[in-house]
Chain A
Amino acid sequence: EVQLVESGGGLVQPGGSLRLSCAASGFTFSSYWMSWVRQAPGKGLEWVANIKQDGSEKYYVDSVKGRFTISRDNAKNSLYLQMNSLRAEDTAVYYCARGGIAAAGSNWFDPWGQGTLVTVSS
């Protein structure tokens, strides 16, 4: 069964840091682009970042550039999101999602993990 399981969410103070992890199983992790997508409480979906199969290309939404870093470890079938300088507006459920094989075009998301909640508050 293809599965993604996120972990690492929690309560953090403004300006703090958090590292999210996503464990993949049931497919050849190293063959796919991977992404993080977030959803603030009561709001819509927002793509956060994606990373190429070998980690050589990374892209971010403008609101997190310079603060968040996406990475992956293909030997461990794992995806990460290092979040620094966190703000209240980063409060959201963070999902990891499997993308496609190509950089663009085939980057639809399936499957998604169950999500992990990040709350930024003092």
Chain B
Amino acid sequence: DIQMTQSPSSLSASVGDRVTITCRASQSISSYLNWYQQKPGKAPKLLIYAASSLQSGVPSRFSGSGSGTDFTLTISSLQPEDFATYYCQQSYSTFITFGQGTRLEIK
């Protein structure tokens, strides 16, 4: 199975900060990498698909990049509603795997 490793596991930041979360795959997954946001008690929400494509309705302050094994999710200017947990997910294989999550907290 393809292992997905996110870093950091948790992050404290302030409103207006630029934040970057990294996701690394245990083997090349081309651009088959997706990002989700999850708030407490809610289902995950798709933010970015195919490494860099912004899902409809998602604010443009979210962006994704990378290919092969290394990927990043960037939030250009944190808003209060962005404090949540973020997960990466590989869809290269039919055996799908998620990263362990990055909890983004208010500083």
Report A's interface with B, CB cutoff 8 A.
35, 44-47, 50, 57, 59, 61-62, 95, 100, 103-115
Contact = CB atoms under 8 A, between A and B. Distances in A.
Contacts of B60: none
Contact of B49 (A50, A108, A112): A108
B100 A107 contact: no
Nearest to A48: B96
Interface string B90-107: 011111111111000000
Contact of B96 (A35, A44, A111): A35
Contacts of A115: 43
**Secondary structure call for the B interface:** loop
B55 interface: yes
Interface of B: 1, 30, 32, 34, 36, 38, 43-46, 49-50, 55, 87, 89, 91-101
Given A104-B32, A109-B44, A112-B43, A44 B95 contact: no
B92 A105 contact: yes
A50 B93 CA distance: 12
A95 B95 contact: no
Given A107-B94, A111-B46, 18 more contacts: A46-B98, A47-B95, A50-B94, A57-B94, A59-B94, A61-B95, A95-B43, A103-B94, A104-B91, A106-B91, A107-B91, A108-B50, A108-B89, A108-B91, A109-B34, A109-B89, A110-B49, A113-B43
